[in-house]
Amino acid sequence: MIDGGPCAYLTKDSQGVAHCGIEKAWEAGVTEYRKPVSCHLYPIRVLGKPEDGFEALNYERWDICSAACNRGERTGTPLYVFSRDALIRKYGISFYEALEAAARHVTEK
């Protein structure tokens, strides 16, 4: 982060939409290195207590994400769906499928 602001690797496209420069290079095949999983998960932050075998996934609100949040609200896209690829990358498909099932259970109640 640059002085508490945006990431040093932030790039913007011709429409002013922010992207990760590392991720864009990976998508273009310029590098085999994908951005760190902690960045991929953002705005989900992982807090853990390894001694207890415990991790908590928390949503971090930050104004830089407001456009994405507004779009998610308009389209009805929950954060876990938006973050699907990152969650699978970190925890695997079984975790994500269990998360989907839990979300369905909660919304049906």
- Which sequence spans correspond to the domains of the chain? 36-108
* 87, 80 contact by CB (below 8 A): yes
pTM over 0.85? The answer is no
pLDDT in tens, 84-93: 999 999 999 9
pLDDT in tens, 9-45: 999 999 888 889 999 999 999 999 999 998 899 889 9
Average pLDDT, the chain: 90
Q: How many helices (H) and strands (E) does the chain have?
A: 6, 4
